[in-house]
Amino acid sequence: MPDTPDTAAASRARRTPPWADETPTALLVLGDGTVIEGRGAGAFGAAVGEVCFNTSMAGYQEILTDPSYTGQIITFTFPHIGNVGTNIEDIETSNLAASSGVRGCVLRAPITEPSNWRAAQDFDAWLKARGIIAIAGVDTRALTALIREKGMPNAVIAHAEDGVFDRDALKREAANWHGMVGLDLAREVTCGQSYTWDETAWEWGKGYGRQEAPRFEVVAVDFGLKRNILRELATVGCRVTVVPATTSAEEVLARKPDGVFISNGPGDPAATGAYAVPEIKKFIESGVPVFGICLGHQMMGRALGAETSKMHQGHHGANHPVKDFTTQKVEITSMNHGFAVDRESLPEHVDETHVSLFDKSNCGLKVKDAPVFSVQYHPEASPGPQDSHYLFERFVELMEKRKG
């Protein structure tokens, strides 16, 4: 059984599961030495990462294919994950050549047979095919309480069919992992070469469409870009050219875009910003409209003179209320980030446009005298269900104004 709990939450997370008389085939070993036992699913092996929790009740396939989760082990607070199976349409990563960025997932209930008309593959088989390790039978509520109390821990998730583990070695690996601070993970998930995108958003009875009469040319810098962001840009009239994360501003601006998009992505914005922030500054100075999301927002803040910092437990879920000061409306948003822009560090020429109503952290900014703005959350997602789609229209309005 578990080795070294020092909090009530840790003790609950390791409580005896209903299958305790069977040999555990998976472990989640935290950096403090806590060992949580469970039943393995998905791929075999071991992986190290940062444990976070996600409060979404649906969309597990989109979550597990979001490149922003690279380097993390996701604890799903909703108990039944995998019930609707998987399909090819709900994959979010735009770089199918990249390995799965997420390190693993933690589940309360065992995976069951899929029951949904869109299901093309069983969830367990899908996890195996993507190399994602899972552990089921965990008291995820208690593990979530532990994360809220002590922050996101480093951990190793391991799955062995015979249940044989070198626990001491796993503890050492978890304890010695360097963590997310200082990691540039965008290089792991960015595209290898530029490409164009014209697929539009999904419609009932029609599926995905094509943008056949684009009004704007947009260059998207890929730090871990999600497909649905590209679809929303195409839907509002953009033909998008996607370029790798290390592409210079000179190369981007030579394409004469109507706008530049700075994408979401994983890792520390200070680390990725070492090469990206100087280029973002050039985009801002060029006068071309610039729109950033998530990691793009954080690096935009750094390019404008603000600071970023690691969050205690991060924001991961589809129920986050955000207030837009420009409209005085509250949006229910989808979030996935472990770093944030320090609102107190925003310079005078930058306005704070959005704020989290959970913890008052910064969720949006705009430059007072330039067509530049960004948000921390994911407006392409549909938790509200479409509260934040207006941001793509806002980007279009800036491009229209400049062209006019």
What 122-128 contacts at long range (C-beta under 8 Å, 24+ apart), as own/partner pairs, is 122/82, 122/85, 122/86, 123/60, 123/81, 123/82, 123/85, 123/86, 124/41, 124/42, 124/82, 126/61, 126/85, 126/86, 127/41, 127/42, 127/43, 128/42, 128/43
Tokens of 198: 């014209």
Q: Which of 105, 191, 294, 363 is catalytic?
A: 294
In 3D, which of 175, 130, 142, 129 has the Cα closest to residue 38?
142
Whether 238 sits among the annotated catalytic residues: the reply is: no
End-to-end CA distance of the chain: 68
Whether 315 sits among the annotated catalytic residues: the reply is: no
Q: Which of 316, 320, 378, 389 is catalytic?
A: 378
DSSP 190: S
Whether 307 sits among the annotated catalytic residues: the reply is: no
What stretches of 170-287 adopt beta strand conformation (E)?
195-197, 199-203, 207-210, 216-222, 238-244, 259-262
Which alpha helices (H) appear in 114-189, and where do they start and end? 123-130, 140-150, 167-176, 186-189
Q: Which of 37, 92, 279, 380 is catalytic?
A: 380
Q: Which residues are catalytic?
A: 294, 378, 380
